[in-house]
């Protein structure tokens, strides 16, 4: 077969020294891409199948490419416009008689063809690489390079006839050519390829085809890791905790050279194949936390590093000597050194440019002498990557030299480090970090800017519909755990995946261009949605009369946030509707179209289509009916009868529990007076009886100290809403009932939460509510939600504003335990709501704004008082 192909290629100018490109048909390139590479390389042959022949035909038009080799090309598959013969080489000629069919080539035989005898320095492969830029360069790899790479790899791992390698990487990638072609060919190992590439077929091949070596990009291990922990989460907290304990135990055993992974996690090992010997990953950064988890499972994933310019791998973790986070020492026969190391801000090892020398280093870039001279100096390849060696000679990569962000203050920031930090949040699927000027042209306004792709699948699993708030919460919390110069100053939220290369590297140039283009058009720092063409099914859906009526209501609620409403528009990210507004929109749709969507389903509604389909399906089932004169949304919602036993219990008193917890609160109050120097004023502003709301800024878990200072007449009537994260089960659930905490998740169950608050107020109780909905990340008040205002107006309950200060310093969100710090609290004068008949969105907003401004004003007064006291104490000490 090889001689027959070579004979055909020799006939068409592809003898010794001629370029012959190959192509995996499932990798999609445009005709322009192909034509550019063919023209630059001077290739003689292009391999293609019948499916992609039209694109290949367009690519070779006008080029001196002698033959397009395809498999089973039917006569009718070639257009007459491509059948005109130009010259003896057959450019643009696609006739089966011109050896365009592999079967015909094999049938013709070698016909006395004599293979060439290349020298070690002759070109063996020309591979184009552009990294994350748009400038592809042809990397010249010689026969000596390939032999050198093989010798280096075989110096670390052994592969023989008894081994089977699974090949899924595209063959235009140097890692695939070495791992799935040259290395097994040299030592007679078997290679398994898949006809259909998907996760199911891949895992089946690992388990059924006796695979012993698998070389793949990190994304595969991310998918396996996600699958493992998704299954564990389904089995509950106890199972997850048990597995985590066994993982920690096995880590300890492995430090003593004992690996109990196959005993503890046999099912996970079986997933990757019972005969698996080597798992190797490379091509992009391998997340250290995931690598550590696999190590804890007893599975060594050998993290490797190399470039096309180094014929594939140059560094790899040694079997049995894993160093998590590193790419291991250089391969045998490879030299490496760090050039111009620079100290880093946090006192870590100084990182410099990684340079490599050895038989594996390329000959140069094809027809690019200037580019070659830039990276090849005195036999050393300057990789452009930054890193450092530890004491054991293991290489740690910190980033790319060209991608290092130099801020206006002179600080160097490695974007990959920042990206890895913020991606610790499970809600962040992808993240890109860049430098961006808040005011274009003003370098002093430069800050770190992120592009975030949320993990929408996880958001749906957790029934989190307020994704912007959830992500903001995560980003702010993580910002406290990284140096101030590495914190995100702003970010966008994109709904489409970030563009990547075939090796899963981010296309940084493309992402930055889009961010800056959005900034120029005034849409930067906003959520960016993917505007894909509507499918035929979506177009039919939009044309339905009932859907048109529904979309008109949605369009009015969206207030022209978008030019046209699409079925896949996210209610929050695209239409800008917060949780309250989404409930109001749902109610409006139910009132106009009929239906009564179950409250449990609200946490599963994310898009316009989710919402409209839920309402229409409910209406078809006869659940509810359209109302001729719809009532205001929240009036209708809050007037619904309550059936939850925990909420109904608010109508009764538990005198014993009230006395016990009042007494405990008084003891805590006395402790706070002594250890926290707690000061409080304004108790005389509390009304004699309920209903009313106590609304405070939210700084820490210590904020509940507010309840400990309340007089008996107030304390015995208070109640609050709590989340299942804290009061979900067991003792905490019982404690919640004693403390009159109604356990709900306001994000996933907003309507039941609001209805519970309204019911408690209707029983003349006093609701403790934090309008921010979450603890602050920096001590300052944040956004106040409208829930308090809605309840106040519809239940005609005044709001008592409360300001607290010092609680954040005593127990910030990013600390596990509190510390002693001066605490201050002040109760303000009640804010009276407008009449219930005046309820409207404008009134909700106005009352919310008044509450926030009052709380902020009192809080600022507390801060000024505290600062003045500190100044006086300093002056006195002098």
pLDDT of residue 314: 96
**What are the tens digits of pLDDT across the range 59-92?**
777 777 755 555 554 444 443 334 444 434 343 3
* Positive or negative torsion for Cα 108, 109, 114, 116: positive
The CA-based dihedral angle spanning residues 208, 209, 212, 216, taken in that order and rounded to the nearest 10 degrees = -90
pLDDT of residue 78: 42
Who's near 215: CB < 8 A, 6+ residues apart?
165, 169, 175, 176, 179, 180, 278, 280, 281, 282
Give the pair of three-digit tokens for residue 648: 């109904």
Residues 445, 772: Cα–Cα separation, whole Å:
29
Give the pair of three-digit tokens for residue 692: 């009313």
- CA-based nearest residue to 336, from 363, 365, 307, 364: 307
pLDDT of residue 95: 34
Contact 349, 211 (CB under 8 A): no
In the predicted model, what is the mean pLDDT of the chain? 83
Local structure of residue 369 (DSSP, 8 states): H
Mean pLDDT of 251-274: 93
Residues 360, 779: Cα–Cα separation, whole Å:
56
Residues 790, 836: Cα–Cα separation, whole Å:
10
pLDDT of residue 557: 85
Give the pair of three-digit tokens for residue 561: 């946030």
pLDDT of residue 23: 46
Contact 221, 302 (CB under 8 A): no
Mean pLDDT of 298-320: 94
**What are the tens digits of pLDDT across the range 376-391?**
999 999 999 999 999 9
Mean pLDDT of 278-294: 90
pLDDT of residue 611: 92
Q: Helix, strand, coil proportions of the chain in percent (round to 5)? A: 45, 20, 40
Give me the phi and psi of 395, to 5 degrees please: -90, 130
Helix, strand or coil for residue 776? coil
Who's near 646: CB < 8 A, 6+ residues apart?
737, 742, 743
Residues 41, 579: Cα–Cα separation, whole Å:
57
CATH architecture of 536-630: Orthogonal Bundle (1.10)
Contact 695, 855 (CB under 8 A): yes
Give the pair of three-digit tokens for residue 595: 């239906």
Residues 253, 247: Cα–Cα separation, whole Å:
10
**Long-range contacts (CB closer than 8 Å, 24 or more residues apart) made by 617-620:** 618/590, 618/594, 619/593, 619/594, 619/595, 620/595
Residues 720, 653: Cα–Cα separation, whole Å:
15
Residues 604, 461: Cα–Cα separation, whole Å:
9
Contact 767, 693 (CB under 8 A): yes
Chain region(s) in the chain for CATH 3.40.1130.10: 645-867
Q: Which CATH number does the domain 645-867 belong to among 3.40.50.2300, 3.40.50.460, 3.30.70.360, 3.40.1130.10?
A: 3.40.1130.10
Plot region of 491 (φ>0 → left; ψ -120 to 50 → alpha; else → beta): beta
- CA-based nearest residue to 700, from 825, 786, 578, 599: 825
The enclosing H or E element of 364 equals strand 364-365
Local structure of residue 179 (DSSP, 8 states): I
**What are the tens digits of pLDDT across the range 198-244?**
878 888 999 999 999 999 888 888 888 988 988 898 888 889 999 99
Of 593-597, 712-716, 749-753, highest mean pLDDT: 712-716
Residues 456, 447: Cα–Cα separation, whole Å:
27
Peptide bond before residue 535 is cis, with ω within 30 degrees of 0: no
**What are the tens digits of pLDDT across the range 410-439?**
677 888 889 888 988 889 999 999 988 877
| Chain position carrying tokens 């010997």 | 277
Chain region(s) in the chain for CATH 1.10.1200.10: 536-630
pLDDT of residue 822: 93
**What are the tens digits of pLDDT across the range 679-690?**
999 999 999 999
DSSP string, 627-675: -SSPPPHHHHHHTSPP--HHHHGGGS--HHHHHHHHHHHHHHHHHHHHH
Chain region(s) in the chain for CATH 3.40.50.12780: 140-400
For domain 404-520, give the CATH number: 3.30.300.30
Residues 165, 574: Cα–Cα separation, whole Å:
46
Give the pair of three-digit tokens for residue 203: 């895992």
**Residue 347 clears pLDDT 70, i.e. is over it:** no
Give the ranges where 676-774 is alpha helix by DSSP (H). 705-708, 712-715, 724-727, 730-738, 750-762
DSSP string, 294-363: HHHTT--EEEEEEEGGGTEEEEEPBTTB--TTS--SBPTTEEEEEEEEE--TTS---EEEEEEEETTS--
pLDDT of residue 788: 95
**What are the tens digits of pLDDT across the range 605-645?**
889 999 999 999 988 887 655 444 445 678 888 988 888 88
Give the pair of three-digit tokens for residue 187: 């030592």
State whether CATH 1.20.1260.10 applies to domain 140-400.
no
Mean pLDDT of 687-706: 93
Distance of CA 799 to the CA centre of its chain: 40
Give the pair of three-digit tokens for residue 291: 């690598």
pLDDT of residue 29: 63
Residues 118, 124: Cα–Cα separation, whole Å:
9
Residues 319, 259: Cα–Cα separation, whole Å:
13
Chain region(s) in the chain for CATH 3.30.300.30: 404-520
Mean pLDDT of 707-718: 95
pLDDT of residue 503: 62
Helix, strand or coil for residue 746? coil
b/e per residue, 228-256, with b = 16+ CB within 10 A?
beeebeeeeeeeeeebeebbeebeeebee
| Alpha-carbon distances of 248 from 222, 245, 502, rounded to whole Å | 20, 5, 35
**Residue 99 clears pLDDT 90, i.e. is over it:** no
pLDDT of residue 501: 74
Residues 400, 308: Cα–Cα separation, whole Å:
16
Residues 444, 484: Cα–Cα separation, whole Å:
16
Q: What percent of the chain has pLDDT above 70?
A: 84
**What are the tens digits of pLDDT across the range 533-592?**
788 888 889 989 899 999 999 988 887 667 788 898 888 888 888 778 888 888 889 888
Plot region of 396 (φ>0 → left; ψ -120 to 50 → alpha; else → beta): beta
Compute the half-sphere exposure of residue 646: CA atoms within 13 Å on the CB side of its CA: 22
Angle between helical axes of 545-558 and 579-593 (0-180°, round to 10): 150
Residues 162, 142: Cα–Cα separation, whole Å:
29
**What are the tens digits of pLDDT across the range 470-484?**
898 889 888 888 888
Greatest alpha-carbon span in the chain: 108
Give me the phi and psi of 449, to 5 degrees please: -125, 140
Neighbours of 289 (CB within 10 A): 12
Residues 878, 875: Cα–Cα separation, whole Å:
5
* Positive or negative torsion for Cα 683, 684, 690, 696: negative
Neighbours of 264 (CB within 10 A): 20
């Amino acid at each position: 077969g090889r001689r027959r192909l070579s004979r055909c290629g020799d006939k068409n100018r592809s003898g010794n020294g001629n370029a012959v490109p190959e192509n995996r048909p499932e990798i999609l390139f445009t005709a322009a891409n192909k034509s550019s590479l063919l023209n630059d390389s001077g290739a003689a042959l292009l391999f293609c199948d019948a499916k992609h022949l039209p694109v290949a035909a367009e690519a070779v038009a006008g080029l001196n490419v002698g033959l397009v080799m395809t498999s089973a090309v039917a006569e009718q598959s070639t257009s007459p416009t491509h059948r005109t013969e130009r010259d003896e080489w057959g450019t643009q000629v696609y006739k089966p008689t011109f050896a365009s069919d592999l079967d015909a080539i094999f049938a013709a035989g070698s016909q006395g063809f004599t293979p060439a005898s290349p020298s070690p320095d002759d070109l063996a492969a020309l591979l184009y690489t552009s990294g994350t830029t748009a400038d592809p360069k042809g990397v010249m790899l010689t026969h000596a390079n390939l032999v050198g790479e093989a010798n280096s790899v075989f110096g670390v791992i052994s592969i023989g006839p008894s081994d089977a390698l699974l090949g899924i990487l595209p063959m235009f990638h140097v890692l695939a050519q070495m791992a799935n072609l040259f290395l097994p060919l040299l030592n007679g190992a078997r290679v398994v390829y898949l006809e259909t590439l998907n996760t199911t077929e891949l895992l089946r091949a690992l388990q059924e085809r006796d695979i012993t070596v698998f070389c793949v990009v990190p994304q595969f291990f991310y998918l396996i890791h996600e699958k493992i922990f998704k299954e564990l989460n389904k089995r509950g907290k106890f199972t997850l905790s048990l597995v985590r304990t066994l993982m920690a135990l096995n880590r300890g055993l492995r430090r003593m050279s004992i690996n109990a992974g196959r005993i503890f996690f046999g099912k996970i090992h079986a997933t990757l194949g019972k005969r698996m010997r080597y798992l190797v990953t490379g091509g992009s950064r391998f997340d250290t936390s995931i690598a550590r988890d696999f190590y804890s499972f007893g599975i060594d994933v050998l993290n490797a590093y190399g470039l096309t310019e180094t014929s594939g791998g140059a560094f790899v973790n040694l079997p049995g000597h894993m160093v998590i986070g590193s790419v291991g020492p250089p391969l045998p026969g490879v030299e490496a050194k760090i050039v111009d190391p620079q100290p880093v801000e946090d006192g870590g090892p100084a990182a410099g440019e990684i340079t490599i020398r050895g038989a594996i280093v390329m000959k140069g870039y094809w027809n690019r002498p200037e580019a070659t001279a830039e990276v090849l100096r005195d036999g050393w390849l300057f990789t452009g990557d930054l890193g450092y060696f530890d004491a054991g000679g293991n290489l740690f990569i910190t980033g790319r030299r060209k991608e290092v962000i130099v801020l206006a203050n002179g600080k160097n920031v490695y974007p990959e480090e920042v990206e890895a930090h913020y991606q610790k949040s499970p809600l962040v699927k992808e993240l890109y970090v860049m430098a961006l000027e808040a005011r274009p042209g003003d370098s002093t306004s430069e800050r770190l800017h992120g592009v975030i792709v949320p993990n929408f699948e996880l958001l749906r699993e957790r029934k989190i519909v307020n994704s912007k708030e959830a992500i903001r919460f995560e980003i702010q919390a993580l910002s406290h755990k990284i140096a101030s110069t590495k914190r995100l100053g702003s970010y966008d939220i994109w709904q489409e995946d970030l563009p990547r290369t075939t090796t899963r590297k981010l296309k940084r140039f493309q992402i930055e261009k889009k961010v800056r283009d959005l900034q120029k058009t005034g849409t930067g720092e906003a959520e960016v949605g993917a505007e894909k063409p509507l499918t035929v099914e979506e177009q039919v859906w939009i044309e339905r009369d009932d859907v048109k009526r529904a979309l008109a209501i949605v369009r009015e609620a969206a207030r022209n946030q978008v030019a046209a409403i699409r079925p896949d528009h996210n209610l929050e990210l695209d239409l800008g509707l917060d949780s309250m507004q989404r409930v109001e929109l749902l109610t409006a749709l139910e009132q106009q179209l009929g239906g009564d969507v179950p409250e449990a389903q609200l946490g599963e509604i994310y898009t316009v289509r989710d919402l409209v389909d839920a309402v229409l399906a409910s209406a078809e089932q006869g659940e509810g009916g359209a109302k001729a004169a719809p009532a205001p949304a929240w009036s209708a919602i809050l007037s619904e009868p309550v059936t939850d036993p925990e909420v109904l219990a608010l109508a009764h008193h538990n005198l014993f529990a009230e006395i016990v917890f009042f007494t405990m609160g008084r003891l805590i109050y006395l402790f706070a007076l002594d250890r926290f120097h707690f000061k409080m004023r304004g108790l005389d502003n509390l009304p004699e009886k309920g209903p009313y709301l106590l609304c405070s800024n939210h700084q820490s878990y210590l904020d509940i100290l507010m309840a400990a200072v309340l007089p008996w007449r107030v304390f015995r009537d208070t109640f609050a809403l709590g989340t299942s994260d804290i009061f979900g089960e067991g003792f905490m659930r019982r404690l919640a009932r004693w403390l009159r905490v109604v356990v709900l998740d306001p994000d996933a169950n907003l309507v039941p939460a609001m209805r519970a608050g309204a019911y408690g107020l209707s029983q003349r109780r006093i609701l403790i509510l934090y309008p921010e909905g979450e603890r602050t990340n920096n001590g300052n008040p944040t956004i106040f939600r409208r829930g308090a205002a809605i309840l106040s107006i519809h239940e005609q309950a005044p709001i008592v504003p409360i300001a607290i200060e010092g609680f954040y310093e005593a127990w910030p969100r990013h600390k596990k335990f509190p510390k002693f710090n001066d605490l201050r609290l002040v109760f303000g004068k009640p804010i009276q709501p407008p009449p219930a008949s005046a309820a409207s969105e404008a009134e909700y907003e106005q009352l919310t704004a008044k509450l926030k401004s009052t709380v902020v004003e009192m809080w600022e007064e507390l801060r000024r008082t505290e600062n003045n006291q500190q100044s006086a104490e300093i002056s006195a000490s002098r």
